[in-house]
Copies of this chain bind each other. A is one copy, B any other.
Amino acid sequence: MAQLTRIKLKAPYLILIGDLADPTYAKTGFGIVHWRPELVVGQLRFAGCKIDLGVPDLTVTEAVAAGAGSLLIGVAPIGGVVPDNWWKAIIEAAGAGLDIVCGLHFRLSDVPELADAAAISGARLIDVRKPPAKLPVGTGLRRPGKRVLTVGTDCAIGKKYSALALHEAMRQAGMNSTFRATGQTGIMLAGEGIPIDAVVADFISGAAETLSPANDEKHWDVIEGQGSLFHPGYSGVSLGLLHGSQADALLLCHDATRTNISGWEHYTLPSIGDAIDQHIAMARRTNPEVCCVGISVNTSTLPPQTRLDYLHQLQLETGLPCVDPMVDGCGAIVEHIKQLFPED
């Protein structure tokens, strides 16, 4: 069998919640239920658990009977470590043939009882932080199909959420689109993808090319951005993804009140104008026709009236549709894309 160049998960998922107490840690689970309810068969909770994803409670046996493909460990409560009392259920699931999918910072295969159970049942142990082997170097060859990439003035500024919201708005507008995941949570949501920041440096743009392959001319890949061109730690990831995506369209993501790079406070954010200009200047290398199609802003820290003024002002300054996707959705961005890229 040829080695996969992209992680592919087996749906639907049984989501492990265990005895989590803090809903913050169940964010991945809530995200999957929100964005992709059709991927979720149920949740696995222990007695006394206060968190509820609002999907059926199933035992491993019930989940298998209901057709589950994977047990998904989205998060763990303390320091990325799975609590001791969770392993029994995880090993039981692997023994019952469910793939185990994990986004934490350790290797599932390093747990001997789990490795044994999976080896006997044929279940796969999938670490979504581990990139596929045998990725190619980027060719830069133009490929058919349309691609929009979310880019940001910083990391952790809504690139994944904006891509999901744009994909959803495109779907509602009757467009043919696919969400392309580049990070662990995105991969669980999409059921496939490549953790682009874990790829060896020489293969970043090649991974991006693999992730968003040639497609119908009218099809849109909506690609989840990673890092930021302006981030002193992660800019290399962002440029490789930008070049490999050969984006036709960029959706710039920003936070209305963030002024400095989060966690790297000695760096100020670029202005919106500079962020657009520098992204376009670099992106033209692999797609000379690239344009910015809108701005997606997290305005949750602004009062409601200030929020509208802020977006209105930004729209005047840039001439682009500006939305908060959590409040406004991405309909205005989709309308603009349809004008810029007429299908007929």
Chain A interfacial positions (CB closer than 8 Å to B): 137-141, 196-202, 204-206, 229-230, 232-241, 243-244, 261, 264, 266-267, 278, 281-282, 285-286
Contacts and interface: CB of A to CB of B under 8 A. Distances in A.
B201 A237 contact: yes
Contacts of A206: 233
A176 B156 CA distance: 41
Interface centre among A202, A233, A236 (most CB of B within 10 A): A236
A230 to B, nearest CB: 6
A285 B235 contact: yes
B236 A266 contact: no
B236 A204 contact: yes
A77 B338 CA distance: 56
A334 to B, nearest CB: 29
A240 B139 contact: no
28 contacts: A138-B232, A138-B233, A139-B232, A140-B264, A140-B267, A197-B201, A197-B202, A198-B202, A200-B200, A201-B236, A201-B237, A202-B233, A202-B234, A205-B232, A205-B233, A205-B235, A205-B236, A206-B233, A235-B240, A235-B285, A236-B237, A236-B239, A236-B240, A236-B241, A236-B243, A267-B285, A278-B282, A281-B281
A276 to B, nearest CB: 13
A196 B201 contact: yes
A185 to B, nearest CB: 16
A302 to B, nearest CB: 27
Nearest to A278: B281
Contacts of A205: 232-236
Give the residue among A232, A234, A278 with the most B Cβ atoms within 10 A: A232
Nearest to A142: B266
A240 B240 CA distance: 10
A244 B234 CA distance: 10
B232 A286 contact: yes
B197 A264 contact: no
A7 to B, nearest CB: 16
A200 B202 contact: no
Contacts of A236: 201, 204-205, 236-241, 243
Given A139-B233, A236-B239, A198 B198 contact: no
Contacts of A234: 137-138, 202, 205
Contacts of A197: 200-202
Nearest to A197: B202
Contact of A235 (B200, B233, B239): B239
A233 B285 contact: no
A128 to B, nearest CB: 15
Given A140-B266, A201-B204, A264-B139, A235 B243 contact: yes
A28 B261 CA distance: 42
A116 to B, nearest CB: 26
Given A197-B202, A235-B282, A267-B285, 18 more contacts: A137-B233, A138-B233, A138-B234, A139-B233, A141-B266, A198-B200, A198-B202, A199-B200, A201-B204, A201-B237, A202-B233, A205-B235, A205-B236, A206-B233, A229-B282, A235-B240, A236-B243, A239-B239
